[in-house]
């Protein structure tokens, strides 16, 4: 299994390829505790420039981001 840093770096590279800009990826905290494997992604859409925010786990990072944001 890949380490968390590799998953995030690979996802950021794919998101840039899809045209998203200003991509920020944060760890998710609930009740003051870190939730392992869950990330909040904030980016600007390529066509509208609208900011989108979505929470993804490491498996979904490769598949669902484009569809969730539209």
Q: What is the pLDDT of residues 8-66, one digit of tens each?
A: 888 888 889 889 999 999 999 999 999 988 999 999 988 888 999 988 887 777 665 55
Is residue 69 pLDDT above 60, yes or no?
no
Give pairs for 37-44: CB < 8 Å, separation 24+. 37/4, 39/8, 41/11, 41/15, 41/65, 43/15, 43/69, 44/20
**Residue ranges per domain, the chain?**
4-68
Tokens 């794919």 map to which residue? 14
pLDDT of residue 66: 54
- The answer to whether 43 and 52 are in contact (CB under 8 A) is yes
Number of other residues whose CB lies within 10 A of the CB of residue 17: 8
Is residue 5 pLDDT above 70, yes or no?
no
């Amino acid at each position: 299994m890949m380490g968390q840093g590799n998953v995030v770096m690979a996802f950021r590279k794919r998101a840039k390829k899809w045209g998203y800009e200003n991509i920020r990826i944060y760890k998710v905290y609930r009740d003051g505790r870190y939730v392992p494997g869950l990330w909040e992604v904030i980016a600007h859409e390529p066509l509208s420039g609208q900011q989108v925010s979505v929470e993804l786990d490491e498996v979904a990072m490769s598949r669902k981001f484009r569809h969730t944001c539209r």
